[in-house]
DNA sequence: GCGGGTTCGGTGACCAAGTCACCAACGCTT
DNA sequence: AAGCGTTGGTGACTTGGTCACCGAACCCGC
């Protein structure tokens, strides 16, 4: 990328990250010149076990799905990194830590700022604001995992599926995902998804089509999703 | 604690932490003088939701149990911090982050080095080795949680219980824990623990007594525990 | 040492969820 | 149009979680 175009984007991208907006001018410049903006198509492996990364990614556009590759062959969904968030797990690879078995894949086309190890280290040393940004990102992931564990242990599948459908639909009304994919998202079997979706359909909350679902009654789903732990 | 006794301990405690042994002399001194050694009895709440901590704990002796307080009242065990490890989750409280709902309790009497926020920040800024120590600790917790999730989702209860009993027994042959406690350790119900333990007893792997279990055939337990995902 | 309350463990019935085996419907390629 | 891989549906069965309830062991004050 030529310097002109680069400069143009540099003026804007930092504002996408709340925690970085308070960076003093010199640090901001160091971050801009010491990093690069990269784009990868949907489906790209961002990181994977045994394939050490050496850059911290800050997502500008798109989403990255982080999954645990299980020995059994089945995968479990762990979390999703959205635009405006950083993929701190790559720092674990940067440390060449004992191999964790998580992998990150671009779900959509992804544009991101890649901060090389050296720049990262330099910024952590120099800037309290940058430090806070990084530690906050770590803490958020950890607490998200806490919530996930709580969900897995205590929440009923139908409640979790309803919530997930609403989340995946976003503003639209259709979710493109096979039953198998929804199964790994929630850490359950395809059959369970099929059965639960049939039930949702019977209640006229959704319509099913091959490879996806159309939400026809968000209220019904929302009501179930929010029933939380209060015994359906 | 008077300065003489303090100096005596300072000479030794850093060696308990692998990642810190490579600290250069000046950093080491800053760490020693900028922190204090504290002792608390078993049962002490180390951190809890809404009660912001301002110190990073490095455990010298004892163990800390970290649990998720669920809305439903039931708790889930998340992980255990052992001597020689740090309780990085407290840094999340240090950031006064949105309230996570985990709490840490001293399982035994605990002796630890408490690093105040300011010293922590200073050391992270100054020392690459200290930075690596902290990031490694974070990454380890995250990958541990990945493994935990994998376990919860895919592993059978009897396998998990056998593994946990061996772990809790350590070198000894008895585990002091009620069925209810074992239940929260594994995120399951007391009844399930009772049933599974009865089965273990029937196979003469354990003897039960009120408030605990005595392992009488570690091999049997170990064999089951290691059968992992290979379909008992 | 004796009630009386509390904690701990056991049990049966039932429901939710995961597993297994198998098949039917769809859509893509050739 | 035939063949094949992907997707979804289903029934039978096992495992795990929930609920309600009970009895035995322990603790405590008297």
Claim: this prediction has a pTM higher than 0.85? yes
- The answer to whether residues A180 and A187 touch, using CB atoms and an 8 Å cutoff, is no
Question: Under an 8 A CB cutoff, do A152 and B150 touch?
Answer: no
Question: Under an 8 A CB cutoff, do A149 and B95 touch?
Answer: no
* Residue range B154-203, pLDDT digits in tens: 999 999 999 999 999 999 999 999 999 999 999 999 999 999 999 999 99
Sheet with A174-176, side-by-side order of all strands: A174-176, A212-215, A206-209
* Residue range B118-140, pLDDT digits in tens: 999 999 999 999 999 999 898 88
Task: State whether the Cα torsion A21-A25-A26-A31 is positive or negative.
Answer: positive
Residue A232, helix vs strand vs coil: coil
Q: Can you tell me the distance from the alpha carbon of B175 to that of B2, in angstroms, rounded to the nearest whole number? A: 39
Residue A92: list chain B partners with CB under 8 A: 135, 139, 142-143
Contact between the CB of B188 and strand D at under 7 Å:
yes
Residue A187: list chain B partners with CB under 8 A: 149, 153
Which residue on chain B is closest to A126 by alpha carbon?
Answer: B125
pLDDT at B107: 93
- The answer to whether residues A60 and A37 touch, using CB atoms and an 8 Å cutoff, is yes
Q: Which residues contact B147 (CB under 8 A, 6 or more apart)?
A: none
Per-residue pLDDT of chain A (232 residues; tens, 9 = 90+): 555 555 555 467 999 998 999 999 999 999 999 999 999 999 999 988 877 788 999 999 999 999 998 877 789 999 999 999 999 888 776 666 666 778 899 999 999 999 999 999 999 999 999 999 999 899 889 989 999 999 999 999 999 999 999 999 999 999 999 999 999 999 999 999 999 999 999 999 999 999 999 999 999 999 999 876 443 3
Looking at the complex, report in whole angstroms how far the Cα of residue A117 sits from the nearest Cα belonging to chain B.
Answer: 12
Q: Can you tell me the distance from the alpha carbon of A65 to that of A178, in angstroms, rounded to the nearest whole number? A: 16
Of A78, A102, A149, the CB nearest to B68: A149
- The answer to whether residues B79 and B141 touch, using CB atoms and an 8 Å cutoff, is yes
Question: Under an 8 A CB cutoff, do A149 and B229 touch?
Answer: no
* Residue range B100-120, pLDDT digits in tens: 778 899 999 999 999 999 999
pLDDT at A52: 75
Cβ–Cβ pairs < 8 A, chains A and B: 125
Question: pLDDT band at residue B230, thresholds of 50, 70 and 90?
Answer: very low
Question: Under an 8 A CB cutoff, do A100 and B146 touch?
Answer: yes
Q: Can you tell me the distance from the alpha carbon of A10 to that of A59, in angstroms, rounded to the nearest whole number? A: 14
**Nucleotide nearest the Cα atom of A159 (by C1'):** C16
Q: Which residues contact A12 (CB under 8 A, 6 or more apart)?
A: none
Question: Under an 8 A CB cutoff, do A71 and B135 touch?
Answer: no
Q: Which residues contact B72 (CB under 8 A, 6 or more apart)?
A: A154, A229
Contact between the CB of A156 and strand D at under 7 Å:
no
Closest CA to A91 of B21, B139, B227: B139
Q: Can you tell me the distance from the alpha carbon of A209 to that of A194, in angstroms, rounded to the nearest whole number? A: 12
Distance in Å from the first CA to the final CA of chain B = 55
Q: Which residues contact A211 (CB under 8 A, 6 or more apart)?
A: A176, A177, A178
Looking at the complex, report in whole angstroms how far the Cα of residue A169 sits from the nearest Cα belonging to chain B.
Answer: 25
pLDDT at B74: 84
Q: Which residues contact B100 (CB under 8 A, 6 or more apart)?
A: A139, A142, A143, A146, B49, B89, B92
Sheet with A102-106, side-by-side order of all strands: A45-47, A102-106, A64-69, A75-81
**Nucleotide nearest the Cα atom of A160 (by C1'):** C17
Q: How far is CA B176 from the centre of its chain?
A: 17
Which residue on chain A is closest to B118 by alpha carbon?
Answer: A128
- The answer to whether residues A44 and A87 touch, using CB atoms and an 8 Å cutoff, is no
| B176/D20 CA-to-C1' distance in Å | 28
Query: In the predicted model, is pLDDT for residue B2 greater than 60?
Result: no
Which residue on chain A is closest to B187 by alpha carbon?
Answer: A153
Tokens of B198: 């009865």
Residue A61, helix vs strand vs coil: strand
Q: Provide mean pLDDT across the span B223-231.
A: 72
- Rounded to the nearest 10 degrees, the angle between the axes of helix B157-169 and helix B190-202 is 80
Question: Under an 8 A CB cutoff, do A102 and B141 touch?
Answer: no
Question: Under an 8 A CB cutoff, do A149 and B97 touch?
Answer: no
Residue A132: list chain B partners with CB under 8 A: 95
Residue B124: list chain A partners with CB under 8 A: 124-125, 131
Looking at the complex, report in whole angstroms how far the Cα of residue B73 sits from the nearest Cα belonging to chain A.
Answer: 10
Residue B123: list chain A partners with CB under 8 A: none
Tokens of B183: 């239940």
Beta B45-47 vs B102-106: how paired, if at all? antiparallel
Contact between the CB of A190 and strand D at under 7 Å:
yes
Task: State whether the Cα torsion B138-B144-B147-B148 is positive or negative.
Answer: negative
* Residue range B72-93, pLDDT digits in tens: 778 899 999 999 999 988 877 6
Tokens of B48: 């809890």
* Residue range B4-34, pLDDT digits in tens: 555 555 467 999 998 999 999 999 999 999 9
């Amino acid at each position: 990328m030529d310097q002109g175009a680069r400069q143009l984007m540099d003026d804007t991208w930092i504002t996408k990250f709340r925690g970085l907006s308070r960076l003093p001018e010199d640090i901001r410049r160091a971050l801009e010149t010491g990093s690069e903006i990269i784009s990868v198509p949907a489906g790209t492996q961002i990181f994977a076990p045994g394939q050490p990364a050496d850059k911290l990614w800050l997502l500008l556009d798109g989403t990255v799905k982080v999954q645990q590759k299980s020995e059994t062959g089945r995968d479990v969904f762990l979390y999703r990194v959205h635009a405006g968030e950083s993929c701190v797990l790559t720092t674990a690879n940067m440390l060449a830590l004992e191999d964790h078995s998580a992998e990150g894949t671009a779900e959509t086309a992804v544009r991101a700022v890649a901060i090389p190890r050296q720049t990262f280290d330099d910024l952590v040393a120099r800037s309290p604001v940058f430090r806070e940004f990084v530690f906050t990102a770590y803490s958020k992931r950890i607490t998200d995992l806490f919530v996930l564990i709580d969900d897995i242990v205590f929440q009923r599948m139908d409640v979790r599926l309803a919530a997930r459908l609403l989340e995946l639909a976003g503003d639209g009304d259709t979710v493109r995902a096979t039953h198998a994919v929804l199964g790994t998202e929630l850490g359950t079997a395809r059959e369970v998804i099929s059965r639960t979706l049939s039930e949702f359909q019977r209640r006229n909350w959704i319509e099913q089509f091959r490879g996806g679902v159309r939400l026809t009654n968000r209220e019904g789903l929302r009501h179930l999703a929010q029933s939380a732990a209060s015994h359906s």
